[in-house]
Structure formats: C-alpha cells, structure tokens
Structure 1
C-alpha cells in the first residue's frame, strides 16, 4: 500500500497506528526511483544517498492560527538580538504565501525532509479563514505539504465534531458548502490526539501517532495537546473527552513505537516554555545564559522518556531552539517557532540506519525568519484570492474609525486594546434591559490582534480578527468577595506560573504587587469601582463572555455567578461600540492605561 497520501484519500491509512482508534491513518512517503549510493564515505550529504548515516531535515512551525494573509502591527514583527547584546525589531514578517515559499526553498537539496506542526494551526483565526470555519487554512496547509500535526487547544474551539470534519472533510453541518460544486476534502495530513481520549472507551479521538518512512528511514511522531485544554476551551464542545497527562502519554506511545521497530521518535507537543529573551535568535544554551528557558515545557522535557529524540512545541507563542536534559541527563532538542507563520524551525536529525535511531549528539536546530522579500507562492496566492472574493462583501464593510493604532502588546499586563474591548462590553451591557452591567472583565487570550491605523477605517474583517471567537456575552451577579477572588485567581492556582491578567473596564481599578507571591499579589484594599471600595457582601452585575462565565482560563469563581442574562456576541458588542463612538471627523483614540497599578 505504498501510495502517496497526497494523491489518494486511501493513502491516509497506509500505516496502522492502532487499529480501531480513529478514522484517520498515517503517511508513508513514496520511495523515489533511481536512488543512488552516496559518494561521501557513507554519510549522506544533506540526507542524500544510501549510506549508514543520513541527515533527515525536520521543518516545523506552530500556532499559525489561520493567518493566511501577512499579520499586521505587532503581530507581524519579531525581535532580533544583535551582536552587541542590544535588540532590534524585524518588521514585515509572516504570511502563508511567504511561509510556503520559504519551506519549499528549505527543502531543496534534502532527500529526506519532513514538515511537522505543533498545533493551533486553526482557531482564533482572522476573518479570511474564520468566516469559513478554517477550511481555507487547511487547504493552504495541504498546499504547503504539511506531513503531520498535533492538535492544539484552539483546534477544539468549535468542538470535537468540527475537528473530526476538519480532518476527514465534508461540508459544514449548518452552513453547507461555501463554494458551489466544491466539497471540503479535509486535511491531507494526520492530526494526532494521543492524550485526547473518550472518557468511556479510553480510545484516542484521532490517531495517537504517525510513522514517516522513506528508503527504509522511519521516524515516529507522537502528538499531544496540553493537559489543561479543558480549562481554556468551551466545555460543551469537548463533553465526554479526557485530556491526559502529556508525559505519561508520550512515554506510553514511545514504547508502542519501539515495539513496532520505530526507534527514532519526535514528540509534537502543544505546550511550551518562556525563554529568558524575547529575541527569536536568543541562544538559551549559551554559556552564562543560566536558566535560558522556563515554563511547563521544562518539567515535561525532563520527564519524557529518552526514547524520544526531539520535542517540537507550541502554545506560548515564543521562539526558541534549546536543549533540555532528558531523564538520563542527555541533552535533547526542544523547539518552538513563535506564532502566526513568522518563523519556521529547521532541525537536522542524523539517522543511523544500523541502530534505526537518531544520533542525538548530531542534532542541530535553528529558527528562520519568514521574510516577505521572497516570491509569494503562487498556489497559496491563488487560494487566498479565491477566498477573499467570497469574503469581500462582509469583510470590507466599514464599522468604525481610529486616530491611532490601538495595540495589544504581549509583554504588559494592561493592554490598550483590552481596555477598549472591556469598555465596549460595559457600554453594550450596562442598560437595564441589556443586563445592567456595572463593570466588565475580558480574558487577555481573547484579544487576538491589534487595530492597526492604516487609513483609519476599521472594517468588519479587522474587527473580526481582533475578536474572532464570537462568544456570547453574559451578565451575572458576583459579590465583592467573589470579584476579589477572581483577581487573585489571575496570579494563583492554575495561573500561578503564568498569570492571566483580566482586562477591566473603566472606573474599575486595583493594585498588583509583583514583589509578592501568588494571591498576595493582589492588594485587596486597593480594589475600587467608581472610586469606592468593593463591599464583600454586596452583589455587582458583571459583564463577561461565556468562556469566562464558564470558569475558563483558570477562573472557577466566575462560574459561580448568579442571575445570568445572555446578550449579543462579543464581536457584535465590539462593532456596535466602534460604530457609535467614532466617525471620520472624530476617530477613536486608544484608552489610557492606569486601571491596574503595578508595583515592581
């Protein structure tokens, strides 16, 4: 059954990866004709030849989030570390047309090349992809010749059934086919869900692993998403699913692969770390770098079995190519390529044909910038233009005007755009017949892109890119004590290691003391609404999206709200605010910061 899976749907079932576990199988790459003996003494140059040692190129990326068109503002920039230790901005990076060209060029001269991803390819996408339930992005990934991907938490934004459709194809269950006479064919690459299982049967939702093979070189991939996915996606869409421990799952399937004779293994893990520098080219292994990387990936990497030769990670949107010791103390490569298609990682895995394993000491890895000074990939450009034509009547409708870019920086607690969205939610839900909200709370992860000035006109498509989830807004009763607990949960419990600072509406203020630890970082007697201290026993009407109302992002106290009223979607509320509060003559400016006082 050595069929190229890009030529036939049947090719998805070439290698058995646990019969009966899922409907999607794995790829065996077709063996090229005329393969010859290497002339370099047995080590294949750039993976060429039939010598004992061959170099396998692993190209990888993560957290694309449906960014087909070049991302704008801060989302389209990177930070680069200069030789003198200072940093500079690298503008105008990313875009699927350019990512595809860079990947194509990187593969040149490499007989053995695999392209893999670490999740969040879709979800929280700009309108061009999100309006069509991310079918355009899957088409683009197929065109980029992606071989395999783990699932991320955002692959579950529309629930498990929709993820199954994304994998297997078929028209949308309620909106139908988006183009007359065309049926969505689904992903030509396997999505791997080793640690996402049915609570009753214990079977993985989709394939747990995938084996790539060419000329007898075999490399196994195990795909997992973060164990905490259930805390950051809508509960309804994942009902009946269990998200297992990442380390236990990877170790389990590494043994399965070993029993099948696959000794070279890569884990595709949608969980990540935080490098000590935000520069994409920071060397976290450099002498004197100390703890060059921190975060969840460190403990995971230190406990994943030495049978796994490399970890490709994501989720934190950071850039790194580090080594973290495995349980035996041996260095092991751990990589991440930031987000939005701005980088790709090129890793060389030297494969020993005799042992069938990776020579770990020979592994090399580096991140490369997806610049826009290369030719756009024609196939992707054509795809983008096709979908843009379908989206144009909706996407180009003006909904507001701005006088300046309103940013969403990732490195500050209080964000101008977060303030604007919280103000919009308060304005939309404060009328008595809309819920009577007295304040609004917005989760920072729900703000997906900045509002970039451009010509000053904000279109529906740009507003959608900022708020792509279309969460319904709610208003609930919370006591003053519960509100203080919510603020404390920003920096404790599930959010202790990586705080999630809620964006708050105007006239709600408090102090965050970063010199303290855990819940003590919130200065309780500093919390004010309209200048008055909160009354612990008094009820307040609080506007939030349904994700937060369900306790998402590690805020269980918010799920205890009473007297819930469901309103319009967050996107509709945002657009209504932009329209009502801006005009060509009086464009909107960024709200001032200062609602959260930070002590350092």
Structure 2
C-alpha cells in the first residue's frame, strides 16, 4: 500500500503502554494491527476536488471506488486491518446519496467492511428515530419519498455507531444511552477497543426538535467514565473515535502530511479537541478526530504530559487516517503506534485502472436512480465556479454566500423580505465542485443539491434593529466562540465588526445600514432565512424572538437558489461583494 507521508512513531517508552497496569510478566506476543479511519464522508460516493500538499492544481480524491481500493490494498498488506469512522458518515450528502436518504452511503460502507464509527452531529440531522432506522434498517421513515428507494428492503448498517456522551434526558422518559459507548474488535488474536464521542455542541447545530430527548455531555468525562470497564476486559489497545476537532494556526506550516505537528500549532479558539485530548485517560493510545474538515497529524499531551497522536483526515474521503499498532497480546499492552494521513487519489487510480469495480456498480446504481433529477440544467453562470470560501472557512464572507443570501431575499419579496441571511455551515459545496465544471459554465440541479443538501425550507420573520444587532453578535459568542459562523448577508445590508472587542460589542451599530440608511434599533425589519436558522439553529437563538413568522414549507432552499440562478445566472461570478467589513 503506498504511503503519502512518513508515519509518526511513538513507542511504549513514550508512555503509550496504554492498557498495561502491571509489569510485564509473560514473554511478549506482538500482533500488528492496521486501523484506517474515515471522517466527515457525508455520503460522497463520487470523488471531489482536493489539492495535495505543495501542489497548485487539484486532483479528484475520495469516492467509494478509490476508498475501497485503498482498503483492499491495506488488507493485502496486513490482513489485520480494521476500518472505522470518525462521524458524519451520512447527512449533508450529494444528490446520489442524499436523495436516497443516504442508504447508498451506508451500503457502500457496509461493503467496504466498516466495523464501528463515532456518531457525528450530522447523523442526527433527521432526528434520533431516523438514525435508529439508518442503523437497524426498515422503511418506516420520516421521509417515505426517499427511504427504501435504493433498496426496497433497506437492511441498515452492519457497523455500529457509538457515543459515550449521548444520554437520554429526563424529558425523554427513558434512562441510559441510545448507543453503546464503545466497541471491542477482535482481529488476529488482538482485542482493540474503540470508544466513541460526538461534539457536545450537537444540540445547537442540528434541528433542535430532533434531539430534544437527548443530552450531549462532556466528551472527555464520558470517555473517561467507561475506561475502567474497557480495561477490565483485558483489551490490548484503546483508540478514541471522536467527532470533534480543531484547526491549525494560519502561521503554522503544518498540513495533513506533516508528521507530529505541535499542540502549539493549533488555533486555541477554534480547536476544542486540544482541551479534550489533554483530559482523556492516558489508556487511550491515539485519537481519531473529525468535524472541523481539516487534515492534521499532531501530538497533544495526555493528562500525564506525554505526547499522544491526534489525527484528522480532511473530509469527503479525501484522506484516510492510518494508524499502525503493535500490541502485545500476552500482556495486553501497546508496544508502538504510528500515524499518517493517506491521500485517496482517485485520479491516479482511475488512470491505473485500480478502482474497485464493486463500488463502481453501486455508484452506477445510485446515479441511475437520481440522474433524471440531477442532470437537469438550471443555468449558465458568469464564471466557471462560485466558491463558498477558500478551504471552506466559515468565518468570512464568501462569493457563494453572497449569492445565496441574495437568492433568499429575491425569493421572498411577496412576504416583504428586506434582508436575507444564510448560515455558512449550510453551504456544503462550491457551485459547482471543481470536478464538475461544465462547458458554458452550466450548473445542474445536482450541483444545486450539493450546495443545499439538507432539504431546508424558507422562513420570513421580523426582528427589530436591536435584535438584528444582537443576532449578529451571536456569530462570535457562546458556542460560536470556538466555531465562528459568519452569517452571509444579502445585497444592500452592510456592517462592520471588530473581532478584538468583547462579547456583545463587536458589531458597530452605527455601521449597520440597509440600502445606505442606518438601521434603527426600534424599527422592524423583515428577514428571510431557512427554517433551521429560524428555529435557533447554529446557536442563533435571537431568531426565536422573531415576530410575524411566515413558514414557506413548500419553498425549499434548492428552489430558492435554482429560481435565482435561472434569472440571474449569467451575471453571477466568483466575486466577494464586501458587504461585511472586519476592522
């Protein structure tokens, strides 16, 4: 199996004899185990654009045909190979999986032999009951127009989602946990325990009603609470799968292929994984992370101060996280662990003819069931592509964010809308992805669906000028302080902010203007947005104070954007309008 980066090696001498609590008394019996991890797959059955470290042009990376081929090579190299997930395997998916309720993605992961995955926040996009269906199978879905259209007898996932920090709350009338906290995998005579957690911020970033019966507790505390139980089962290694992550400082020279980047290279305000990793029991030998859609391979000290591998693999299957474990099964100890991120180079495999044909068949089937809708041409743009921001950042204004906010405003004039607001996390792809750029700058419905895969509808409501200012302040406060979400705004609305100011004082009220007229604190303004934000999603709770609320349940976000593109596509380019100014 090819290596895209040298392995980061930590031996037991560095403190990773994670599961041994007494001196070794038996002759060591080493077993080598390969762990390959996939995070933030989001049902991307086909490859998407990825730029390798140091390159200036992109390749096609990911896609089930190439991911499966990498797994096949790994298993040939070491039959003791385990395939695991870091969460967000489903949800926010392209049309060939999303329109089929992500059943194709689950079936692809089943066929690739996934054993276990951490829960991700997007697994909860359609609520707990639907997640149970995705796990266990059946057709009793909350969207029967999509469920069981890929397989009329959907059988569910053969792997298990796990989450130690997901609990039933008092309001649910239930006790205990809906998912197992850990899973022990036996391979080659070794017992490897995987303990899972999902970001505790999940209730604020999914539709609140879907998780109203659940509590999401502190990730490190929940994992630490089950470590004694795991150790009592005499496992040979413990690996944490967590859907929470971080990102590196802008000044860091590290990237996904860098071996052993320092904890000091993480952006302190954007990296919850750092504090979590520092508190997780030293019995955990390595941490496979996700959520932030970044690629890194770093060292973060455990509670004893000893370095421990924390790795994340970008998103959409571009990278596979690769751990090599040597465990002593006689004494239930970790002898060494190493880590690397492997590029899933679809372009190279396609040229070499080494894609997995079984996955090609599955992809062909999924496409055949969705192409009639996906391939409908919507418009021709004024440029080949309109982007959602460099490296998918969510803390700046983007060209596509401007377009979508404008589309919200244009599509709700009958309801008196004056300002359109869009959450950047709801913009899931460039328009179109680099791998899907077409002659004449054409975009089709599949491209629009990739941008807006959630099936959100449109809401118009009224806020006072003061409430609007308070809403904008929530971009950097509370839960958003560690994951800034800069709302994208429609044309005519402008304002400036100073990030260095204290909470509640970042937005310059005097700079807030609508069509050049200053916003009045007491005047009322009609706001167009999606139903997710209107319900207080992404921690924008001020939306729930809105009055004169109009729910346009039959006007989906894909309709809003498609209609706007049909009318204005030729004039739209990849230009950021500069409606938001950072001082």
Could you say whether these structures have the same fold, taking a TM-score greater than 0.5 normalized by the shorter chain as the test?
yes
Question: Is 1:478 the counterpart of 2:453 in the alignment?
Answer: no
| RMSD of aligned Cα (Å) | 2.0
Q: What are the within-5 Å matches in structure 2 for residues 130-279 of structure 1?
A: 130-173=98-141, 174-175=144-145, 178-179=148-149, 182-199=152-169, 200-262=173-235, 264-276=237-249, 277=252
**Pick aligned residue for 1:283 from 258, 262, 267:** 258
Correspondence for 1:512: 497
Distance 1:180 1:371, change over 3 A: closer
Q: What are the within-5 Å matches in structure 2 for residues 402-441 of structure 1?
A: 402-404=381-383, 405-409=385-389, 410-411=392-393, 413-431=396-414, 435-441=415-421
Correspondence for 2:321: 345
Q: How far apart, in 2, do the equivalents of 1:176 and 1:281 lie?
A: 36
Shift of 1:79: 4.6
Conserved? CA contact 1:257–1:263, under 8 Å: no
Write out per-residue CA displacement over residues 528-567 of structure 1, whole angstroms, 9 at most, x where no aligned residue: 1111111011111111111111111121112111111011
Write out per-residue CA displacement over residues 394-413 of structure 1, whole angstroms, 9 at most, x where no aligned residue: 11112222121101122460
Write out per-residue CA displacement over residues 180-236 of structure 1, whole angstroms, 9 at most, x where no aligned residue: 974111111111122222214332112221100124311111111111100000012
Q: How far apart, in 1, do the equivalents of 2:150 and 2:104 lie?
A: 15
Correspondence for 1:325: 301
TM-score calculated relative to the size of structure 1: 0.85
Moved more, 244-253 or 519-528: 519-528
Correspondence for 1:560: 545
SS at match of 1:522: coil
Correspondence for 1:28: none
Q: How far apart, in 2, do the equivalents of 1:487 and 1:176 lie?
A: 36
Q: How far apart, in 2, do the equivalents of 1:181 and 1:377 lie?
A: 21
Aligned residue pairs, count: 532
Q: How far apart, in 1, do the equivalents of 2:40 and 2:367 lie?
A: 22
Correspondence for 1:531: 516
Q: How far apart, in 2, do the equivalents of 1:325 and 1:257 lie?
A: 22
Q: How far apart, in 1, do the equivalents of 2:91 and 2:207 lie?
A: 13
Gap regions ≥5 residues in structure 1: 1-49, 82-86
Conserved? CA contact 1:80–1:279, under 8 Å: no
Correspondence for 2:371: 392
**Pick aligned residue for 1:366 from 340, 347, 363:** 340
Correspondence for 1:98: 66
Distance 1:124 1:286, change over 3 A: closer
Conserved? CA contact 1:513–1:521, under 8 Å: yes
Q: How far apart, in 2, do the equivalents of 1:192 and 1:278 lie?
A: 34
Shift of 1:153: 0.4
Shift of 1:51: 6.4
Conserved? CA contact 1:61–1:343, under 8 Å: yes
Conserved? CA contact 1:511–1:526, under 8 Å: yes
Q: How far apart, in 2, do the equivalents of 1:595 and 1:52 lie?
A: 63
SS at match of 1:381: helix
SS at match of 2:44: coil
SS at match of 1:449: coil
Q: How far apart, in 1, do the equivalents of 2:84 and 2:396 lie?
A: 33
Conserved? CA contact 1:79–1:279, under 8 Å: no
Conserved? CA contact 1:136–1:383, under 8 Å: yes
Shift of 1:290: 4.0
SS at match of 1:509: strand
Question: Is 1:577 the counterpart of 2:577 in the alignment?
Answer: no
Q: How far apart, in 2, do the equivalents of 1:52 and 1:558 lie?
A: 60
Q: How far apart, in 2, do the equivalents of 1:194 and 1:182 lie?
A: 32
**Pick aligned residue for 1:107 from 41, 50, 75:** 75
Conserved? CA contact 1:439–1:542, under 8 Å: yes
**Pick aligned residue for 2:94 from 100, 121, 126:** 126
SS at match of 2:69: helix
SS at match of 1:578: helix
Shift of 1:496: 1.5
Q: How far apart, in 1, do the equivalents of 2:74 and 2:571 lie?
A: 45
Correspondence for 1:382: 361
Q: How far apart, in 2, do the equivalents of 1:460 and 1:469 lie?
A: 14
Correspondence for 1:448: 428
- Greater relative CO, 1 or 2 (CA 8 Å, sep 6+): 2
Moved more, 517-526 or 185-194: 517-526
Conserved? CA contact 2:80–2:188, under 8 Å: no
SS at match of 2:549: strand
Question: Is 1:57 the counterpart of 2:44 in the alignment?
Answer: no
Gap regions ≥5 residues in structure 2: 1-26
Correspondence for 2:536: 551
**Pick aligned residue for 1:306 from 282, 307, 329:** 282
Distance 1:545 1:201, change over 3 A: same
